[in-house]
A and B are shown apart, each in its own frame.
Chain A
């Protein structure tokens, strides 16, 4: 029986979630696993809350992660980790970008960005790994590499060797490969 798991990627439209989930999917496939990924395109992409489901295992049937079944949540924005709380279970590992993006109600002064929102996870005992994706991206000299830092932090938990991830990145990233690999490794160091 091969290992199986469910990864939920969440964030704000335009943050590079599709690329991050794609790199992860290719790594799982290269490791000999079956995988299915579900994305939402269209209207939700315009700065709204977006989510991608990635499931892997021996044979994957449904493309959707059921509520309470996400083994990993990779959140590109802080609040967007907590939004998917009903999809988590007590052993879910959450990799979360500490970068915050104000939703329209906050940006227009109608609501406040919830203070210490990650406490909603930690108080339930959910393992939460903070990644300052913005800082890592800046330090490697590629502002768009934050998503690879998050993939790096996730990668420590997956049944895929680091070399496979590196090979996939070499094959799949069109530009700024060195910077992206550096961001991946900095992210990975946080969880390994």
Chain B
């Protein structure tokens, strides 16, 4: 993987961050997958001499990172923005302990919510946790700045936040690569309880140390070359950072710029100097008025969110329109059906949601591919909030309504999400006696983010075999007496079990186990596709209601129906695409007319 010094290569932001971590001498990296951060560790694992792992959640990942840093290693921890909520507990106190080896936490925000449930602006964490935060604009800067972040971390005894967004993580550009240089700290056990044991007495002393550190970081920010003034037209001075800087350069190339490569702390002297050099200061930033609030608090006159949208992604056109009023005339969109994402052909989740769509129940959903069970035609999800929330929400719902509401309440959660943060909630259900039914959709992998291993998968990120958690035993161990395992592709059998367990006057778990069709073992499996005998299809649409991409409805006019030898009133028939069919058999299970069978070979 190592390339020659100073060679230019074409990398995504995430690939550049992985490369930079290797060049910075990182030896330990831990993460939980989450779009748009996942590819960082998927790339870092390809380099030699770096230990990489998927942790069960972001809190664990950060604690692993903190431990490795205490030992003196340079450490990378990565997560998506909502993952930092999970890791916030260690984050705030890690700001007190500081580190030994450089500790950089990559936080990937997702403005526009391309693949997320919210678009929180995690620059606020840097302020709240009193930690420095870097924010590059493109992959090239990401590589340079990540290495600087490690130096900063060690020099100022602080974890460093490194913020990316989707339009950096998944943007590719030319990057100049270098060679690997190890960090200066000796890796060893170095007991330092005053620094590492955060009892009140010690923490108070560390809190004072943080005050001093903040002053030093402020001075650093003012001298840091990444925070730079680009002189242009004096009339308009733009303060910006991250990807918004690039959009501004495109929209208003002649303006004066203060480009902030550190989102926290802000370089107050530099900002004052810049503001004094231009007629008007406008702050252009994605999401929250973060720079704006803090710059206004310095007493500097500026504008920002009264012009620039505080929601969604920015682009050059939005900025141009906001600041100049110019907006080109565009072709109007043409009317056409939407194309939302869908579960894959052969996905075991589809069968579960097909069953749920037939039951009069409240489905408390969770985060994963199966969240797509919300979309038509399955339309079988009634809530989805955050990782692991399905079980707690189902519990709260039944406690609030009481009676036999548990007979109508189901929590649905994937294997990886269950091990991320669902297990605590299941313990709560058993402990505090609620009788809702929990479905664990165990497809053996973390699927939505691109098939990453989890503690139930039986392998590590580095490709070694590992203990696979026995979910049945785990559920029993927390106090769930009734644990049943089903094959979700067996639609009718699964429905019977779900109905029985809903009635049960006790906490119960149904593990729906069938592997994701995208894991390597399944991709190489021989597939016998299914086909429909048109003469037997009555057009009842039972299979269509599965919403499988391989199944399509072929409408018929009365004449066409007659020509096919069918009743005139038959509105159409179903076809299965042999190229797309995965042979899972779900459609065959729901067809009452035995119209679906395996394609005959030859």
Give the complex CA separation of A104 and B545 in angstroms: 10
A3 within 8 A of B: no
Give the complex CA separation of A45 and B340 in angstroms: 10
Asked if residues A48 and B342 are in contact (CB atoms below 8 Å), the reply is: yes
Cβ of A109: which chain B residues have Cβ within 8 Å of it?
A: 541, 544, 553, 555, 571-572
Given A35-B173, A117-B336, also A42-B549 (CB < 8 A): no
Q: How many A-B residue pairs have CB under 8 A?
A: 178
A150 within 8 A of B: no
Residue of A nearest to B315 (CB): A64
Of A41, A79, A124, the contact of B36 (CB 8 Å cutoff):
A41
Give the complex CA separation of A124 and B449 in angstroms: 40
Cβ of A105: which chain B residues have Cβ within 8 Å of it?
A: 337-338, 376
Cβ of A86: which chain B residues have Cβ within 8 Å of it?
A: 330-333
Question: In angstroms, how far is the closest chain B Cβ from the Cβ of A151?
Answer: 16
A25 within 8 A of B: yes
Given A38-B171, A66-B316, also A47-B249 (CB < 8 A): no
Of B114, B172, B247, B342, the contact of A40 (CB 8 Å cutoff):
B114
B229 within 8 A of A: no
Of A63, A108, A113, the contact of B167 (CB 8 Å cutoff):
A63
Asked if residues A62 and B315 are in contact (CB atoms below 8 Å), the reply is: yes
Cβ of B341: which chain A residues have Cβ within 8 Å of it?
A: 13, 43-48
Cβ of A25: which chain B residues have Cβ within 8 Å of it?
A: 10, 172
0/1 per residue, B317-342, Cβ < 8 Å to A?
A: 10000000000111111111111111
* B39, B313, B328 — most chain A CB neighbours (10 Å): B328
B205 within 8 A of A: no
Asked if residues A61 and B166 are in contact (CB atoms below 8 Å), the reply is: no
Residue of A nearest to B166 (CB): A40
Asked if residues B375 and A37 are in contact (CB atoms below 8 Å), the reply is: no
Asked if residues B246 and A63 are in contact (CB atoms below 8 Å), the reply is: yes
Asked if residues B246 and A61 are in contact (CB atoms below 8 Å), the reply is: yes
B148 within 8 A of A: no
Residue of A nearest to B554 (CB): A109
Cβ of B243: which chain A residues have Cβ within 8 Å of it?
A: 62-63
Cβ of A160: which chain B residues have Cβ within 8 Å of it?
A: none
Of A42, A62, A104, the contact of B340 (CB 8 Å cutoff):
A104
Cβ of A49: which chain B residues have Cβ within 8 Å of it?
A: 338-340
Give the complex CA separation of A40 and B333 in angstroms: 21
Asked if residues B114 and A42 are in contact (CB atoms below 8 Å), the reply is: yes
A114 within 8 A of B: yes
Given A61-B249, A66-B316, A104-B547, also A29-B174 (CB < 8 A): yes
Cβ of B553: which chain A residues have Cβ within 8 Å of it?
A: 106-109
Cβ of B339: which chain A residues have Cβ within 8 Å of it?
A: 12, 47-49, 79-80, 83, 103-104
Give the complex CA separation of A44 and B375 in angstroms: 13
Residue of A nearest to B555 (CB): A109
B344 within 8 A of A: yes
B478 within 8 A of A: no
Asked if residues B250 and A62 are in contact (CB atoms below 8 Å), the reply is: yes
0/1 per residue, A4-23, Cβ < 8 Å to B?
A: 00000000110000000000
Cβ of B369: which chain A residues have Cβ within 8 Å of it?
A: 46
Cβ of B552: which chain A residues have Cβ within 8 Å of it?
A: 102, 106-107
Cβ of A36: which chain B residues have Cβ within 8 Å of it?
A: 138, 171-173
Cβ of B333: which chain A residues have Cβ within 8 Å of it?
A: 83, 85-86
Give the complex CA separation of A86 and B327 in angstroms: 13
A183 within 8 A of B: no
Cβ of A63: which chain B residues have Cβ within 8 Å of it?
A: 138, 167, 171, 173, 243, 246
Given A44-B114, A47-B549, A62-B315, also A38-B170 (CB < 8 A): yes
Residue of B nearest to A111 (CB): B337
Given A42-B36, A62-B246, A106-B552, also A82-B331 (CB < 8 A): no
Asked if residues B331 and A26 are in contact (CB atoms below 8 Å), the reply is: no
Given A37-B171, A39-B170, also A67-B249 (CB < 8 A): no
Q: What are 21 sample pairs from A and B whose C-beta atoms fall under 8 A apart?
A: A29-B174, A42-B36, A43-B114, A48-B339, A48-B342, A60-B173, A63-B167, A63-B173, A63-B246, A64-B313, A66-B250, A68-B317, A83-B333, A83-B334, A83-B339, A86-B330, A86-B331, A104-B342, A104-B547, A108-B541, A108-B545
> What is B's interface to A at a CB cutoff of 8 Å?
10, 12, 35-36, 38-39, 114-115, 138, 166-167, 170-174, 243, 246-247, 249-250, 313, 315-317, 328-344, 369, 372, 375-377, 448-450, 541, 544-545, 547, 549, 551-553, 555, 571-572
Sorted nearest first, the 4 A-B pairs with minimum C-beta distance are: A42-B115, A42-B35, A48-B341, A109-B553
Instruction: Kindly list 19 other residue pairs between chains A and B, CB separation below 8 angstroms, not including A64-B315, A68-B329.
Output: A38-B172, A39-B170, A40-B114, A41-B39, A42-B115, A43-B115, A62-B243, A62-B316, A63-B138, A68-B328, A69-B317, A86-B333, A88-B331, A104-B342, A107-B552, A109-B555, A112-B555, A117-B336, A124-B331
